[in-house]
Chains A and B, each alone.
Chain A
Amino acid sequence: MKEKYLINARIIDPKNQIDEIGGLIIDQDGKIKAVGKKVTKDNLPKESEITDLKNLILIPGLVDMRVFVGEPGFEYKENFRTLSNAALSGGVTSVVSMPNTSPVIDNVSMVDFLKRRGRDKSRINIFPAASLTKNTEGKQMTEFGLLGRKGIIAFTDGIKCVQNPQLMSSIMSLASQSKSLIMQHAEDNILSNGGQINDGEISTRLGLKGIPALAEKIIVERDLSFLEEYFCRYHISLLSSQKTIDVVKKAKNEGKIFTTGVSINNLSLNENDIGNFKTFLKLSPPLRTENDRLSLVEGVNDGSIDVIVSDHKPEDEESKRLTFAKAATGAAGVETLLPLALELFHNKSIKLEKLISSMTCNPAKILKINKGTLDIGNDADLCLLDINKPWVVKQSELKSKSKNTPIESRKMQGQIMKTFVKGEIAFERS
């Protein structure tokens, strides 16, 4: 591989506090050799291959901490190849895949399979998460130590929440020993049982059973209490309500150390978008009120929320073309994560640097992986974007195998133009 020279881009690397016009050199091994304003046309070899990126922004490839892939078991919804294509077109170069497959990723023999498939079929970096409990049943914990040695960097039951408090305390206790990252989907199963959408006026009007914000809050409160006894790397996957944000804010102010995430859907949409039973907006946690949404935006701004994820959950048409109660939960979104987040920049809700850090260096730091930054010597995983380019979301143009986007026909501002993985162009918009 020849050295590549990218010049004249606005380079934003929140971790190294870089926001300047400059260039980047990719060495022969696909690593970052130099970056910043010193890299200009004048100090490059005359005969070299130079790409001028005028008017584009160069950022680290995104790290999406919550993505579902259908392998194994649900290949008809998404496989590694289609996930990879979708992610690359959204500037995402690293993902944490959820263990809710069939069979569940809960033992070391599965890990080799996943790593092999991920390596052979996809161009992005796939970091599989293993489940917290066997078969995500919430009864028996998995082998954090052995799985960790195989390269598993995070543990979560994905769409499920560990209910048994005794088990959860053991999990956190052992995780503090093995230094494992625990990611909780905070939802009390009994309170949310049968619930479809946020408990409120909309659920009353649509006649759908509600999921109260309390279902999320009491699990967060419980786990934060455990955290005082068993200090481990604890991450709340998705926050959805003001009530929980308040708890998180207070705990962080008191000095408790843990991290939190939010889905781009909860950050950009609210329960009114469900309209006339749109099943593509049936999500977990559910979309809540506009007030809740605003408190999530504030949470990103004030640091209560560390990470923004796509919560990409591909579902085939047959799982969604049902009554709201019977339809599958979740929305596809890995390829629209960044454009939808840019909406929050354009409408002045969140600063650009904040948005980018919550999708690059923040998740990388939590996961302890060498991604999400433009550090010299790192793999050149890069995303190039035109921050003003207008476009419209169309199901038919999505790369994901499933087309269950919650933002069909939405007018967007900002589009990914090129994505590099390990120094190679892996996606280029024509």
Chain B
Amino acid sequence: MAIIKKLKAVKINQNHLLGIQDLSFSEVSNILDEAKTFINLNKSYSKKVDILRGKTQINLFFEPSTRTQSSFELAGKRLGADVMSMNIVNSAIKKGETLIDTAMTLNAMHPDIIVVRHQDSGAPNLLSQKVNCAVINAGDGRREHPTQALLDALTIINRRGKVEGLKIAICGDILHSRVARSNIYLMNMLGAEVNVVGPKTLLPHSIERLGVKVFTDMKKGLDGCDIVMMLRLQNERMEGSFLASPREYYEYYGLTPDKLALAKKDALIMHPGPMNRGVEIDTNLADDINRSVIREQVELGVAVRMACLKLFCKNI
């Protein structure tokens, strides 16, 4: 944390939070440092501050989400912002309105922040070109999910003190995962060594060019790791063309006690959720309070999102 404290004065230069790829090391440090100040607030009796009083935050979720959407909603409310979550099912988007028209409509109501999740990669980038407020990416296609990576980093720092020098394995469906991509960029930036583990059909083309070691044998990939990050297997895409069966997948890539035994003794288990118990992770391991930090990830997620809302809201 020493480095982070030194750089506290550095401001965020970006207008939007579109992806980890766009952030500098000092900006990341700044966000994480800010987030730490909110951890205790979130545990206290009165959780509300007025940092964003009078500001308007719109949550625009084009994909179903429970934890990310509620996390952003709580984060905004605890900072005192007026938060509106758009219900896409009832919106004009169902009537064929384009993303840009929706953006222009919302923009006319003068929001200060739009939090967007979209099934198409690059949608937040397009949105950010058309509105006058800060855009925060809450997940776009398979490209990036920056706040998830930031909360993962905060969780690791909270437990291990730093990310630098740690060995982190990201396992499972890398191909379809925005969480994997954001985490690869962020953990690399913070000085970790990153392994990705998965069957060949779920590894994207040229993934090694992102600065990771690639393993198809989970036992080799977990060897000596400090952190084991499991990814949700996108069940809906799994049958037939990518994998033979959930049963075989669990056999080779499910996190079980015998595979975990190859990682460091005190290795932490992480998962962005929602989990498929018995598909990518053994159900007892998921609940093991000594190893699994899955619930802590959710808890710190609110703090990280408060930090992001605060820092990016100031910028426009």
Whether A203 touches B141, Cβ cut-off 8 Å, given contacts A208-B121, A323-B126, A325-B120, is: no
Decide if B120 touches A323 in the complex (CB within 8 Å): yes
Contact of B120 among A203, A321, A326 (CB under 8 A): A326
Question: What CA separation (Å) do A394 and B207 show in the bound complex?
Answer: 37
Decide if B122 touches A321 in the complex (CB within 8 Å): no
Residues of A within 8 A of B210 (CB): 201, 204-205
Decide if A325 touches B98 in the complex (CB within 8 Å): no
Nearest CB of chain A from residue B119's CB, rounded to whole Å: 8
Question: What CA separation (Å) do A203 and B209 show in the bound complex?
Answer: 12
Interface size counted on chain A using CB atoms at 8 A:
20
Contact of B207 among A204, A276, A325 (CB under 8 A): A204
User: Which of chain B's residues 193-233 have a Cβ closer than 8 Å to chain A?
Assistant: 204-207, 209-210
Residues of B within 8 A of A322 (CB): 98-100, 126
Nearest CB of chain B from residue A136's CB, rounded to whole Å: 25
Query: Is residue A324 contacting chain B, with contact meaning CB distance below 8 A?
Result: yes
Decide if B206 touches A323 in the complex (CB within 8 Å): no
Nearest CB of chain A from residue B146's CB, rounded to whole Å: 12
Decide if A200 touches B120 in the complex (CB within 8 Å): no
Residues of A within 8 A of B85 (CB): none
Query: Is residue A45 contacting chain B, with contact meaning CB distance below 8 A?
Result: no
Whether A323 touches B99, Cβ cut-off 8 Å, given contacts A201-B209, A207-B121, A207-B143, is: yes
Contact of A321 among B100, B142, B178 (CB under 8 A): B100
Nearest CB of chain A from residue B141's CB, rounded to whole Å: 5
Decide if A204 touches B204 in the complex (CB within 8 Å): yes
Residues of A within 8 A of B112 (CB): none
Nearest CB of chain A from residue B213's CB, rounded to whole Å: 16
Question: What CA separation (Å) do A207 and B137 show in the bound complex?
Answer: 14
Residues of B within 8 A of A206 (CB): 121-122, 143
User: Which of chain A's residues 305-329 have a Cβ closer than 8 Å to chain B?
Assistant: 318, 321-326
Nearest CB of chain B from residue A289's CB, rounded to whole Å: 10
Query: Is residue B118 contacting chain A, with contact meaning CB distance below 8 A?
Result: yes
Query: Is residue B77 contacting chain A, with contact meaning CB distance below 8 A?
Result: no
Question: What CA separation (Å) do A79 and B192 show in the bound complex?
Answer: 57
User: Which of chain B's residues 23-82 have a Cβ closer than 8 Å to chain A?
Assistant: none
Judged by DSSP, the binding face of A is loop
Question: What CA separation (Å) do A207 and B178 show in the bound complex?
Answer: 8
Residues of B within 8 A of A209 (CB): 142
- The chain A residue with its CB closest to the CB of B185 is A205
Query: Is residue B173 contacting chain A, with contact meaning CB distance below 8 A?
Result: no
Contact of A204 among B100, B140, B144, B206 (CB under 8 A): B206
Nearest CB of chain B from residue A255's CB, rounded to whole Å: 35
Query: Is residue A113 contacting chain B, with contact meaning CB distance below 8 A?
Result: no
Residues of A within 8 A of B15 (CB): none
Query: Is residue A199 contacting chain B, with contact meaning CB distance below 8 A?
Result: yes
- The chain B residue with its CB closest to the CB of A321 is B100
Decide if B98 touches A324 in the complex (CB within 8 Å): no
Decide if A203 touches B100 in the complex (CB within 8 Å): no
Q: Mark B138-167, 1 if CB is under 8 A from A, else 0.
A: 001111100000000000000000000000
A and B contact pairs by CB, cutoff 8 A, 25 listed? A199-B205, A200-B205, A201-B210, A204-B181, A204-B210, A205-B143, A205-B181, A206-B121, A206-B122, A207-B121, A207-B122, A207-B141, A207-B144, A208-B122, A209-B142, A210-B205, A277-B122, A321-B98, A322-B98, A323-B122, A323-B123, A323-B126, A324-B121, A324-B122, A325-B141
